[in-house]
Structure 1
Amino acid sequence: MYKCEYHIVWVPKYRLRILKGTIKTLVERDIRSLCEWKG
């Protein structure tokens, strides 16, 4: 891993929700754990 200093924004075309159900939960959990790990 390396230090990423970019602000990531999820904005799909037409503002449709692309992350739903189980996939949403898994992605959210992984991003949160990565953020906690990196501080």
Structure 2
Amino acid sequence: KYINHSDTPNACYYDDKSVVALRDINQGDEITHNYEADW
């Protein structure tokens, strides 16, 4: 539902607004993205 910031993210956004895992994400793990690239 939510994606939080991390300096070592496990997911990324693409221009079409899709979210793609950068590595395996276990059930219950937080999904994270590096906001620095967007700001």
Range of TM-score over shorter length: under 0.3
From the CA coordinates, give the structure whose radius of gyration is larger: 1
Bigger RCO (CA 8 Å, 6+ sep): 2
Q: What's the TM-score, normalizing by structure 1?
A: 0.20
Q: What's the TM-score, normalizing by structure 2?
A: 0.20
Higher helix share: 1
Higher strand share: 2
